[in-house]
């Protein structure tokens, strides 16, 4: 007779592709809560025996370093392009926004993988976690192939939409098409990272990103032929260029070299990810038979991933239209300055990103273990830490913007505009941390539908209209003509690009308020995956 507090034995996992799994192997004790009700200590997986504070630290610090390294992939490309010329910076900056489309599939599948693996690990169902990883691998490679082919085909059209000059147009097409070759490898590596995090391991993803970033930095540097330099703007307005490291390579491929370095780095990253998953991660192991489609698991991934994909597509489309608005300003250097400012601001996201993934993993594992109160407490702690760290970054953006900008570019237009943009970003960093962590936590527990609606409402209902009004730029219509812009900020003497950034930041305040409301309402604690 079963003990009174135990759930019935579940035997349907024998159909998920694990030949050695039998009814006897699914011990009913696996359905007991896996935390200590006295101190919140997790009793299963990598986090076993850890208190909540220690689990937050163990999960967050590797992700923090990994996020820093991950951001360097984009920053390296942008900084090297800025060392070439303003058209090259515009080309890589604009193309990089479109290349975000590669992440749509990986983010959607990754969130589904994180949620399902975290729940499975919280309940001790290791076979199920391995099957989830296998299905994620199959879907990620297929998604990457489709996305890569799409980018190769549409790259010239995108470069035209970005309103780039002739030189920037050609270089943007080259950059997009070369990077698209690595789309299947990038998607597989990113989805694999998400599954490993769901298993409670942040160290392996860190190792992977170290390798990817070192390869990207070294290869892009040597293949592009660009010297690493520091741009300084004197009080008189003169720009001086101080070379930090002269490029010794005889190869000078320019933008093509930057793209090839990124492509090769992601390819090696995918190979390492395959080795990690086949070797096993805390009981989650990828096996060949688990790559075959398993429709029940795929349906669960799709149920979580489709709303998430719709959210990401909506966000991507909205942000892509925003980058088109920068192109409508029709001024060389504006595109590069905007993207560079965003890349610099992304360093402040690192703490928020790290804490958000810790929150997602812990919330999923605590809910899987049957303790909504502990899940909520973990998310709140992660949010407060992220707000503190991001707030400090924001302070630096407001106090020393010119010095920060000079570390990443030597182009006059950038050094004129980026120091005007960074203080605006800095003023909302602490509040922005709230939306970053809460959004990821809701995704991590599988409440992707709510996240989708909040993202769509804020992007399309607030972000785009506010940025457009702030920019003062008329909106061209496909059939000719344009929609005039009342330009309220320009009437006050605000620079168009600065007004554009103000609109973006106001939307982030609204987004944070909506995510806070949903989180404290608490319906996410009852979400089933």
pLDDT, tens digit, for every residue of 95-130? 877 787 787 778 778 878 887 887 777 677 777 777
DSSP-assigned states of every residue in 200-260:
T--HHHHHHHHHHHHHHHHHHHHHHTPPEEEEEE-TTS-EEEEEEE----S---THHHHHH
| Secondary-structure breakdown of the chain: helix, strand, coil percentages, each rounded to the nearest 5 | 75, 5, 25
Reference 319, options 170, 481, 99; nearest CA is 99
In terms of Cα–Cα distance, which of 487, 76, 128, 111 is closest to 283? 128
The SS3 call for residue 42 is strand
Exposure letters 234-258 (e unless 16+ CB within 10 A, then b): eeeeebeeeeeeebeeeeebbbbbb
The 10s digit of each residue's pLDDT in 452-486 is 889 889 999 999 999 999 999 898 887 778 889 99
- Rounded to 5°, the CA angle 183-92-205 comes to 45
How far is CA 2 from its chain centroid? 45
- Measured from the Cβ of residue 85, the count of other Cβ atoms closer than 10 Å reads 18
* pLDDT for position 20: 33
Q: How high is the pLDDT of residue 372?
A: 84
pLDDT < 50 regions, the chain? 1-40
CA-wise closest residue to 217 among 79, 67, 63: 79
Q: What is the DSSP string of 422-483?
A: HHHHHTTHHHHHHHHHHHHHHHHTT-HHHHHHHHHHHIIIIIHHHHHHHHT--EE-TTS-EE
Query: Which burial class, exposed, middle or buried, applies to 299 when counting CB atoms under 10 A from its CB (0-12, 13-18, 19+)?
Result: exposed
Provide the token pair at 391. 């707030």
pLDDT by residue (tens digit) across 429-441?
Answer: 999 999 999 998 8
Instruction: Report which of 452, 454, 485, 176 is spatially closest to residue 325, judged by C-alpha positions.
Output: 485
Report yes or no: 347 and 394 within 8 Å, Cβ to Cβ: no
Q: In the numeric block, which tokens belong to residue 468?
A: 């457009």
Residue 310 · residue 317 · CB < 8 Å: no
- Residue 355: CB atoms within 10 Å: 32
Q: Is the pTM of this model over 0.85?
A: no
**Phi, psi (rounded to 5 degrees) for 487:** 50, 60
* Tokens linked to 434: 């709230």
Q: How many other β-carbons are positioned within 10 Å of the β-carbon of residue 37?
A: 11
Q: What is the pLDDT of residue 395?
A: 95
Strands 228-233 and 239-245: antiparallel
Structure tokens at 377: 């407490």
How far apart, in whole angstroms, are the C-alpha atoms of residue 500 and residue 481? 22
Helix (H, G, I), strand (E, B) or coil at 355: helix
Q: Are 121 and 42 in contact (CB under 8 A)?
A: no
pLDDT of residue 45: 55
Closest CA to 364 of 136, 167, 118: 118
43 φ/ψ angles, rounded to the nearest 5 degrees: -110, 10
Model pLDDT, residue 162: 82
Place of tokens 């992440």: 103
State the residue for tokens 């070379």.
243
SS3 284: strand
The whole-number pLDDT of residue 462 equals: 95
């Amino acid at each position: 007779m079963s003990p009174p507090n135990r759930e019935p034995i579940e035997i349907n996992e024998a159909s998920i592709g694990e030949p050695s799994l039998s009814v006897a192997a699914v011990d009913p004790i696996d359905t007991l809560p896996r935390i200590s009700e006295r101190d919140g200590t997790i009793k299963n997986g990598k986090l076993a025996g850890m208190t909540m504070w220690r689990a937050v630290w163990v999960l967050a610090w590797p992700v923090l370093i990994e996020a820093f390294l991950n951001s360097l992939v984009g920053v390296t490309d942008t900084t090297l392009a800025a060392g070439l010329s303003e058209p090259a910076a515009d080309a890589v900056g604009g193309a990089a926004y479109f290349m975000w489309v590669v992440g749509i599939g990986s983010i959607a599948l990754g969130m589904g993988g994180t949620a399902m693996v975290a729940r499975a690990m919280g309940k001790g169902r290791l076979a199920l976690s391995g099957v989830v990883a296998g299905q994620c691998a199959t879907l990620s490679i297929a998604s990457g192939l489709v996305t890569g082919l799409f980018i190769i085909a549409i790259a010239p059209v995108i470069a035209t939409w970005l309103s780039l000059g002739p030189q920037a147009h050609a270089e943007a097409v080259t950059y997009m098409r070369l990077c698209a070759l690595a789309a299947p490898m990038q998607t597989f590596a990113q989805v694999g990272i998400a599954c490993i995090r769901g298993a409670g391991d942040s160290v392996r993803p860190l190792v992977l990103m170290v390798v990817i970033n070192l390869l990207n930095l070294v290869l892009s540097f040597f293949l592009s032929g660009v010297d690493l330099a520091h741009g300084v703007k004197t009080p008189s307005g003169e720009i001086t260029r101080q070379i930090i490291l002269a490029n010794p390579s005889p190869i000078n491929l320019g933008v093509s070299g930057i793209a090839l370095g990124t492509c090769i780095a992601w390819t090696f990253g995918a190979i390492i990810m395959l080795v990690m998953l086949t070797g096993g991660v805390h009981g989650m192991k990828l096996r060949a038979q688990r790559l075959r489609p398993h429709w029940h698991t795929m349906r669960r991934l799709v149920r979580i991933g489709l709303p998430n994909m719709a959210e990401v597509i909506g966000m991507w489309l909205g942000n892509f239209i925003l980058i088109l608005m920068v192109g409508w300003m029709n001024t060389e250097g504006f595109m590069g300055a905007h993207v560079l400012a965003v890349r610099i601001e992304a360093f402040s996201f690192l703490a928020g990103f790290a804490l958000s993934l810790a929150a997602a993993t812990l919330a999923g594992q605590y809910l899987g273990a049957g303790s909504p109160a502990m899940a909520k407490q973990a998310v709140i702690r992660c949010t407060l830490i992220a707000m503190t760290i991001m707030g400090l970054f924001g302070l630096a953006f407001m106090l020393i913007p010119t010095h920060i900008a000079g570390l990443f570019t030597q182009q006059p237009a950038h050094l004129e505009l980026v120091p005007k943009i960074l203080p605006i970003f800095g003023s909302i960093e602490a509040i922005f941390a709230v939306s970053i962590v809460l959004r990821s936590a809701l995704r991590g527990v599988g409440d992707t539908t709510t996240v989708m609606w909040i993202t769509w409402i804020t992007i399309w209902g607030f972000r785009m209209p506010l940025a457009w009004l702030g920019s003062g730029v008329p909106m061209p219509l496909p059939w000719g003509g344009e929609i005039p812009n009342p330009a309220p900020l320009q009437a006050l003497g605000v620079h168009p690009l600065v007004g554009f950034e103000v609109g973006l930041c106001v939307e982030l305040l609204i987004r944070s308020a909506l995510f806070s409301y949903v989180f404290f309402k608490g319906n996410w604690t009852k979400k089933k995956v």
